[in-house]
Structure 1
């Protein structure tokens, strides 16, 4: 199972005196430590470095790691402009971009952001799928696109990505609808279910929908290596409250969270590998950039 790291681009993971420009050095350290990929998330929950801006900064600063979004929210951007930005990052990185997309969530983490973007909440999954189809059409040189929601004529010549057909596009989400769409339309699947058995069942549904088409099975998980589980959980509770405004006990009901000693963390991740995960995106449970850097070293030692 390949391992990647989510960069702490959100201000909730910074303290006074932290310099967000150090994120580039953090990324280089992760690459040197042997991680296979670097990821950024995309949200309006709290102030953060914008996702595609961060990836553009990492493209010339790194050499071999994949650069990914976990996950990008396309409804925050105009579709044609987003296709241009993604193609540009793929070019600048020499074909190392991986784009995970999502449609957002109900409640305060989703629908209000659609209102800010002046995009209808209704039919959001169809809009997401059509946006991705439009990107792929642009990258293949299409001059028009006609879907149920998106219809465009006289498209200008688009920037072509480094790779023919563009970067692989993965889907986040853990519902029966997401399983079917990931299998039929996407190149990978990146959910975060708390139970490895649920992951295994979801993956079976994705692969059934794929009908033999290759789909990368990935996993998003929050991790903290500490001296014991109790200590790690105390820190992760502070992390959950700072990042989501909820206690750890609520967060771990909807997202995969792992903590404990290096051996305990490795055992927990191995259970997901046994369930079929082949690429894990690790969100480090650190409360500031110094703690994040320490966690980077600890987690690298655990893998």
Structure 2
């Protein structure tokens, strides 16, 4: 199972005493330790380093580690310009980019983003899928695009990504509709179900949808977004993760873990949780590290490497 990590780009993870420029060193250390990927979050509702800016900064200072978004919200960006930016990051990284996308969720993390972006909330999933189709058309050299939301009789020459056809596109989400769309149209799946059994069921639905669409089910990467805190015991881990959840979501850990995958406690307890997701079919885990500052994030990075990456140094 490949292990990746989220960069702590949110201001709550490095302010007030931290310097976000230290994220460059964090990324380099993750590559040195042998992590498979570095992912970034996307939002307008919490202060953070803009994700594609962060990846562009990382592309020339790393060599092997994958770079990803989890999940990018296309609604925040004009689609043609976003395609150019993503192709540019893929070029600068030598083809190391993976783009996981999402459509947002009801409540405080959904509608306000659409209002700020002046994009209708209604039919957001159809708009997301069409935006992805437009990106692929641009990356493949299309000269026109006809869709419900985006209609271009003439497209200009687009920046070609490093890889023909562009970077892999994953979908975040675990509703029945999202599972069907993942299997039909996407290259990977990045959910965060709190129960490994739900992950296994969802992955089965993704693969069945792929088969029905005439695709190879094995071509859809089964990934997992999981919150991780390694500590001396479960009580100490929960205390920090609760503060982390409040700082990032305004919600206590007890509410977050009802909707998101969480692995916390001793190394053995965290390994047991990750093992259950591996048994359910996850093959690329992206861990969001629970720590309240950059020093704590760096410490968690070392602990996760010691637990999951044999031979890390």
2:240 corresponds in structure 1 to 235
Work out whether 1:298 is the aligned partner of 2:303.
yes
1:151 shift after superposition: 0.9
* Aligned mates of 1:273, 1:157 — CA distance in 2: 42
1:10 and 1:46 in contact (8 A); partners too: yes
1:278 corresponds in structure 2 to 283
Matched position secondary structure for 1:100: strand
2:73 corresponds in structure 1 to 73
Two-structure CA RMSD over aligned residues (Å): 0.7
1:141 shift after superposition: 0.5
Structure 1: give runs of 5+ residues left out of the alignment.
Answer: none
1:152 shift after superposition: 1.1
1:263 shift after superposition: 1.4
* Aligned mates of 1:118, 1:153 — CA distance in 2: 24
Q: Superposition pairs for residues 84-163 of structure 1, below 5 Å?
A: 84-163=84-163
* Aligned mates of 1:295, 1:149 — CA distance in 2: 43
2:168 corresponds in structure 1 to 168
Q: TM-score, normalised by structure 2?
A: 0.96
Work out whether 1:195 is the aligned partner of 2:200.
no
2:311 corresponds in structure 1 to none
* Aligned mates of 1:203, 1:154 — CA distance in 2: 39
Matched position secondary structure for 2:125: helix
1:15 shift after superposition: 3.0
1:148 shift after superposition: 1.8
1:220 corresponds in structure 2 to 225
2:269 corresponds in structure 1 to 264
Deviation digits for residues 211-255 of structure 1 (CA, Å, limit 9, x no counterpart): 142100000000000000111001100000000001000000000
1:302 shift after superposition: 1.0
1:154 shift after superposition: 1.5
2:224 and 2:286 in contact (8 A); partners too: yes
2:103 and 2:124 in contact (8 A); partners too: yes
Misfit runs of 4+, over 3 Å: none
1:264 shift after superposition: 1.2
Work out whether 1:28 is the aligned partner of 2:28.
yes
Matched position secondary structure for 2:60: coil
Paired residues in the alignment total: 303
Q: TM-score, normalised by structure 1?
A: 0.99
1:17 shift after superposition: 2.0
Work out whether 1:204 is the aligned partner of 2:208.
no
1:262 and 1:301 in contact (8 A); partners too: no
* Aligned mates of 1:236, 1:264 — CA distance in 2: 15
Task: Tell me whether 80-89 or 205-214 shows the greater mean CA deviation.
Answer: 205-214
2:45 and 2:113 in contact (8 A); partners too: no
1:99 shift after superposition: 0.1
1:16 shift after superposition: 2.0
Matched position secondary structure for 1:266: helix
